[in-house]
């Protein structure tokens, strides 16, 4: 919290040594150890079949239900590097494809993440693709149909994707803005895999494995999540996701009381409405 930088603050006197933060880049990244992923249905087989048939994949589902984890797991399984691009509303086609830069006296072409992925036969994952600018479809479309080509107009090059390359994107259909719907011409190019929150037993297992929580805690958290999911459409846009349960379980593992952990990690993450917050707190005190 930067507001605390005041003159003469004794804390400032001590030298702050930099922590070895890992620099994460949009470089292709090989995933070396198996990311933990618990399959809910046939999604692994479906993804593998789509990959083998060189068909792009669309992961649909609410937030925090394991889409990112799944794609990491599949990249590991298929032994392909993974490039993830988080889309935002200023992301343009050039950001994906690449642009010229000047170094010294030379102009150098620098590949964008999508071009990089095509060249290196990686899996390119466009997270929350509806957020990107509309002109990105210009480059996504030819790559996502049977041409599998990436036009790089500026560079005067047309990249043909190798069989190893895969385009994947994620999409949360719960979006309410009509201006941000995925166009049919885009979505119909993809094999869609639908994600839901896992069934209770599976979700409990995920919480236990991710956090080391005991089974009573995991079961209580899953029941709490179900209660909030019953409120979807009646005051909540989304119920608690698996991610929030994992967060709460981690706090509990550190000695925070279940009530406080659920309030901080779940209730406050779901709503600002005081009555809704109270209701979720009541759920928590009922299941623990």
Partner 1 sequence: MTALPLTARLLREKLDYLLGPVLSSRRTAATLAEQMATLDRSQQDLVLHWVEVIAHSNYEMAYQFVAAAPVALKKLDTGAAEAWIIRAMDVYDREGLHRGSEVFRTIDAHPPSAADHAAATFEENAQVLALFACGLSGRRLQLDVSDEPHTDTETLYLPPRTAVFDNAAANFNLYKVLITLLWAQGRFGTFHVDVVAACANYADPQRAAALLSHFENLRLESRIGSTLPGIARDLARLRGNHDDPRLITLQSPDAVVQDSLALLADHYDTFELPVLPYRIALRPEAAATRAARMQRERSELAEALAQMLPEQPDDRKPEAAAADRIDIRAGLSAATGNMDIEVRIDGTSVSPPAAITQLIESIAQDAGEIPDDYLQAIDQRSNHQSGDETGPADGGDISPDEKGVSHLYDEWDYKRRHYRRDWCVLRELDVTAANDDFVAETLARYRPQVAQLKRTFEMLRDEDRLLKRQATGDDIDFDALVAGYADLESGMELPDRLLIRRHKAERDLAALFMVDMSGSTKGWINDAEREALVMLCEALEVLGDRYAIYGFSGLTRQRCEIFRIKRFDEPYSEDVKQRIAGITPQDYTRMGAAIRHLTKLLNNVDARTRLLISLSDGKPDDYSDHYRGEYGIEDTRQALIEAHRTGIKPFCITIDHEARDYLPHLYGPVNWTLVDNVERLPLKVADIYRRLTA
Ligand X SMILES: Nc1ncnc2c1ncn2[C@@H]1O[C@H](COP(=O)(O)OP(=O)(O)OP(=O)(O)O)[C@@H](O)[C@H]1O
Residues found near ligand X in the complex (CB under 6 A): 36-38, 61, 63-69, 170, 172, 198, 206, 210, 242-243, 246
- Site for partner 1 (CB under 8 A): which residue of 53, 184, 234, 255? 234
Give me the residue whose beta carbon is nearest to ligand X.
66
3-state secondary structure of 124: strand
What residue 65 binds from ligand X, Mg ion, partner 1, none (CB within 5 to 8 A, per partner kind)?
ligand X
Q: Is residue 106 involved in binding partner 1 (CB under 8 A)? A: yes
Sign, CA torsion 75/63/126/54: positive
Tell me if 99 contacts partner 1 by CB under 8 A.
Answer: yes
The smaller minimum CB distance to Mg ion, of residues 65 and 152, is found at: 65
User: By CB under 8 A, what part of segment 161-200 binds partner 1?
Assistant: 173-179, 200
Report the distance separating Cα 198 and Cα 38, nearest Å: 9
58 forms part of the interface with partner 1 (CB under 8 A) = no
Q: How many residues does the chain have?
A: 288
Comparing CA positions, the residue from 150, 191, 144, 166 lying closest to residue 80 is 166
**How many Cα atoms sit within 13 Å of 114 on the Cβ side?**
33
Nearer to partner 1, 13 or 178 (CB): 178
Size of the site for partner 1 (CB under 8 A): 42
What is the DSSP secondary-structure string of 151-202? EETTTTEEEEPPTT-EEEEEE-TT---GGGPPPHHHHTTSEEEE--PPPHHH
Cα gap 211→200, rounded to integer Å: 16
The footprint of partner 1 (CB under 8 A) covers: 90, 92, 99-102, 105-108, 154, 173-179, 200-201, 219-220, 222-223, 226-228, 230-231, 233-235, 275-276, 278-279, 282-283, 285-288
């Amino acid at each position: 919290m930067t507001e605390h930088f005041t003159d003469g603050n004794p804390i400032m006197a001590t030298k702050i040594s930099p922590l070895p933060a890992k620099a994460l880049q949009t470089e292709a990244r090989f995933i070396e150890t198996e990311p933990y992923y618990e399959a809910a249905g046939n999604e692994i087989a479906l993804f593998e079949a789509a990959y083998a048939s060189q068909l792009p994949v669309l992961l649909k589902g609410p937030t925090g239900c394991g889409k990112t984890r799944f794609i990491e797991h599949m990249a590991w399984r298929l032994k392909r590097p993974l490039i993830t691009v988080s889309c935002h509303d200023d992301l343009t086609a050039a950001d994906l494809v690449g642009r010229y830069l000047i170094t010294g006296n030379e102009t150098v072409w620098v590949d964008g993440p999508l071009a990089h992925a095509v060249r290196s036969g990686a899996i390119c994952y466009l997270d929350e693709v509806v957020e990107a600018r509309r002109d990105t479809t210009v480059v996504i479309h030819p790559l996502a149909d049977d041409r599998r080509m990436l036009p790089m107009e500026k560079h005067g090059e047309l990249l043909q994707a190798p069989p190893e390359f895969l385009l994947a994107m994620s999409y949360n259909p719960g979006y309410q803005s009509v201006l941000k719907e995925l166009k049919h011409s885009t979505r119909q190019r993809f094999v869609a895999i639908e994600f839901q929150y896992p069934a209770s037993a599976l979700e409990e297992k995920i919480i236990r494995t991710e956090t080391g929580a005991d089974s009573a805690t995991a079961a209580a958290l899953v029941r709490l999540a179900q209660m909030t999911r019953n409120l979807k459409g009646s005051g909540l846009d989304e119920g608690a996701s698996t991610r929030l349960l994992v967060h709460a379980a981690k706090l509990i593992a550190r000695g925070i009381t279940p009530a406080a952990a659920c309030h901080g990690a779940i209730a406050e993450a779901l709503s600002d409405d005081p009555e809704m917050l109270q209701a979720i707190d009541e759920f928590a005190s009922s299941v623990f």
